[in-house]
Structure 1
């Protein structure tokens, strides 16, 4: 879909956006940046108080936003989010960002409790599945058909990183990446853009909110201080990538390097990750 001057229209500008996990971190950064770009934003979060804080930050900018509580692990909640969002917009949304996520790590497969697997997959994988299941048909059929529309799924470099003792998180993000690729193929030619965001370390509260061992938490905090970028930078980079029609957004150099090596020499890459983990275990 090309604009009148040969440029692809920008989905993020003047968007009617729905953002899950908008109460903090990358989700809040997405919501505020969309407001700065002239958008109206539904700030959804399981923690409605946190979502309202993001709404306050947006209204302080003179923009329009509303908080809606939603547990993305529950299909009924996401369906209700769609109903309330369309009612508030007075029409269909143009951009949906499936961002809600949690962290997990510190135990190998076989020792990580099954309950942790279920918790992580319920939010990080079933959340985007529910979001795409509910909103993809809405965006696909939106009128007029030349309206810029899109879906962003927040995955992670963990989707291809294969870091030991991070299995549940890795699997959840790999699923979100595959979901995005499949959805992009299905929506090809529909005018709906799909982007998978795959950052490495981002300075958010995900470590505090996750189920992460003390040792892994300390290690991750050190790495985050050294290499982590701000949620605001990640949100801006991803929205710009989405506007260009990029399927993959890797906002940090180490993610791009890891992605390239994994695709070129996957066996060597995986063996190297295992060796490094034994030298400097998480």
Structure 2
């Protein structure tokens, strides 16, 4: 591990890393960027073919990768993932990226089905809880490592018609902050990634239930979506600097500051804007 001017090791240089949801989007971008930094990567995804594709891309980029299937909503599968990774690396991982997630939205609270609530929370929130529950004790015992939890600007943006997704990501942010406090001084760092729109397939198959909202979502993805590779680089650089929060886009920073400085006006304005869009 190389030293940096902030003290300690460059955690993402030549790191042994585990990435969930590595089959596409930000997860795949993380795997490839870690490989470019000389690391070995366990690429896990619920889709075996996509996990394998990512591992092949990592190998093609000169890195070393192992692909495996993991449904993060299952504690047993996440625990098995940790065992597989530790066996392959010969030690606990240096970096764990809890990235797997799904996108949902379009309906009001009370209209969103409870089935959808459970589905979103099982993957987006419980998946990260499982990852932290399983990996944090191992990294704490090793007194070394980093955990990256992929949240979203939705964690604090609280846009209407996205309640299940917002709640799941707010939970991820709260968990990350709590875990960072608990791990302070142990040699293990926590980073929470909170982007806005990223050009991934997270919205594939998502029906917003309203043509105007669907059009706005498509336009946001096309006009403001940032490439996942850029998000991955920015986040891993932040991990090297020991940052807790990564709010990578200008619009995300504006939402972050507005919500903290003017919480009630922000909330009212968000509601009015949603009605205008519809």
TM-score (norm 2): 0.96
Report the equivalent of 2:69. Answer: 69
Closer, same or farther in 2 for the Cα pair 1:277/1:212, shift >3 Å? closer
CA distance in 1, matches of 2:268, 2:247: 23
For the residue of structure 2 that corresponds to 1:65, the secondary structure is strand
Post-superposition offset of 1:211: 5.4
Q: Which of the numbers 147, 154, 157 marks the counterpart of 2:150?
A: 154
Q: Deviations over 1:40-93 (max 9, x none)?
A: 000000001100000010101121001010000000000000111111111111
State the 1:6 CA deviation.
Answer: 5.3
Aligned residue for 2:204, secondary structure, equals: helix
Cα deviation 1:13-59 (Å, max 9, x = unaligned) = 11110000000000000000000000000000000110000001010
Tell whether 2:239 aligns with 1:242. Answer: yes
Q: Assess if the C-alpha contact under 8 Å between 1:207 and 1:217 holds in 2.
A: no
Residue in structure 2 matched with residue 35 of structure 1 by the alignment: 35
Q: Are the structure 2 counterparts of residues 5 and 239 from structure 1 closer, same or farther at C-alpha, using a change threshold of 3 Å?
A: closer
Shift in Å, 1:5: 5.7
Deviation, structure 1 residue 210: 3.9
Alpha-carbon contact 1:8-1:244 (below 8 Å) kept: no
In 2, are the aligned partners of 1:23 and 1:45 still within 8 Å (CA)? yes
Matched, 1:53 2:53: yes
Tell me how far apart the structure 1 counterparts of residues 240 and 38 of structure 2 sit (CA, whole Å).
14
Question: Is the partner of 1:41 in helix, strand or coil?
Answer: strand
Instruction: Give the equivalent residue in structure 2 for 1:227.
Output: 224
**TM-score normalised according to structure 1 size:** 0.95
Does the CA contact (< 8 Å) of 1:102 and 1:210 recur in 2? no
Where structure 1 has 5 or more consecutive residues not aligned to the other structure, the ranges are none
Q: Following superposition of structure 1 onto structure 2, how do residues 1-282 of structure 1 map, counting pairs within 5 Å?
A: 3=3, 7-142=7-142, 145=143, 147=144, 149-210=145-206, 212-213=208-209, 215=211, 216-281=213-278
Return closer, same or farther for 1:138/1:114 CA change in 2, 3 Å cut-off: same
Q: Is the 8 A contact 1:102 1:209 kept in 2?
A: no
Instruction: Supply the RMSD in Å over aligned alpha carbons.
Output: 1.4
* Structure 2: gaps (5+ residues): none
Residue aligned with 2:130, SS: helix
Counterparts of 1:240 and 1:182, CA distance in 2: 22
Q: CA 1:10–1:173 in 2, change beyond 3 Å: closer, same or farther?
A: same
Taking the aligned partners of 2:89 and 2:192, their CA distance within structure 1 comes to: 25
> What SS does structure 1 have at the residue aligned with 2:65?
strand
List per-residue Cα deviations over 1:238-275 (Å, max 9, x = no partner): 11111111110011011111101111111111111011
CA distance in 1, matches of 2:119, 2:207: 9
**In 2, Cα distance between the equivalents of 1:214 and 1:43?**
36
Task: Return the alpha-carbon distance in structure 1 between the equivalents of residues 207 and 121 of structure 2.
Answer: 13
Residues 98, 152 of structure 1: 8 Å contact kept = yes
